[in-house]
Structure 1
């Protein structure tokens, strides 16, 4: 079982994300703990949690969004997942909080999303700092043992957690704002990235992009941001939507704060991803083979090119751990320049290919083009006709005696 904990400042956003999944048939409400009704409507859910949040206005980070991810090898029914969710929340100290458990069906593995807040009935803030290390990890390990789940550390086969293909947005088929909002929410809640370029690498799977405007333009100088649908060639189509008009308000200033938080959260995944990418690179002979091998390991490769078609950057998307890295972050050998140099070296003919004469002869043929083959062979073997005279047959030189004075 893999656990991911996300804290935020908007319980409305957490609820809206999960409720949208329910409306689209991609999730179901599994249980509602601490609510008067077993199946409360959206208004009741929001009022219950919002009432607690208003009891402590000093706490700004008050929303908690937890995902419990199981392996496809874990055959769990709804009742078992309810017990697991209840036991997990008890073990991390949130069992007395009202919380909602959603079962999502939008990935290749069963997983639960838990929405709650960290303000209790007395208006006190429940500590979330180091929650994952101090309480969540021991709880996860004990639950894995009690229920016989696949241990997170043993989930080496990354295919177990590969996501189903993302549903792209097609211009004209759905209302633009709703489609873009859904795509942006999917990326914000499920992926960790440290730059707008990395975010666009993921949004590209939805045929959506975030655009700052041309450098030097008024929008770029004012740090404006719009979201647009793109076609298969990556061209923006339709009317762009301002970031402030979307439900989550994913403006550039808010995203920059998320970039800083994600920089620390992604560190633990960099070394494993580097190892996976390196293993896929060495047997590959070209960029397309490299991309296919990475895809089998749950890693997406985004190739960044300029208008002339020259590759200037590579971005790796880890769909298993939901994080993004540029090639340069994984090392020089995995950057765009390093990968292209490797493929170029593989396609370059070897300097020693050709007739198998001798290594010395071949070197001379390569580096002294002005001489003919016959002249080179003469230079190599001309000493063979003049073997040295054995020492015993050498004539002794007479000593010259000095004349007596």
Structure 2
């Protein structure tokens, strides 16, 4: 008997950037239950046909297991219930084995066909231990029906006669059929459940590997976009001109600005960086970027950074705040004569890290955030790195715009 459950559906991976949520991986820590993999159809292509559903196709290996179990069950009945020993004459021994094999060949396939389908429904409708109660009751019912069918076959071929048919079934065959069916049924169910949980682990591992690869790809795209926005000629031209203007009048300022530019470029071009970095490191890059832009915009760009609750050691996606701050510079500071104030706030509480970037600019509409926009890419990265444990919210419009990321409070191991 094999038991399984149909794959559950995963949440849509194309969730909007302001509401990031998905199930990342199936759990394998629940009590032992006759359930199957819970990964969604978008992951099924990663598994072979046998890994996805070895029961539906009833392969040769599947039926080999059924036949092997039937033979083992028949031998068990012959040894335990038929009184056969090494002293039993061979004809009598073969007769007993043949009768037991008939019962086994009727009950075994019934288990193999019925139980996988029952297992799907049980896994969906009942929790442990009620799922096992239903499964055992189903096994008993199969034993009743199968053993009675075997008795009828024996009567049809003339092995049993008259009123002795029902008596033989009630007094001997029924008990043996139920006991042996439960022994083999429960054993195979446990084995198949453990095997299916192993398949769940394979799905989770492959999902994690794929998501990590996708996260690296998106991080590379965000990194490239960041490089393009910062290393474009006019940015370097303006920055180098600003440094040159400070060389004679403020050498220390020129040196400081050169260091800030170097730190910014080093972060953008670092190909060995991990997807998650401590918030302090990310804020260091953000400050360097804002200080460079403040030389360009002067008093039009004002900013503050507030970090509370030991949030600095917790990790955030690399370039995440940089993306949000660049958005504020582009839509709040650059287009207005009076510029804007940017406020970066970070706090950790209740196992969560919340980082918000607020500006007093006019905001931006949906048309300003097409597919592939920095915030859109950031939302996708959060989904891949944290699943449904992270959110990205955008509140845009006069008199202020707030972009906040909310992620689990985790430190770098």
Q: Give the TM-score normalised by the residue count of structure 1.
A: 0.22
More strand by share: 1
Bigger fraction of residues in helix: 2
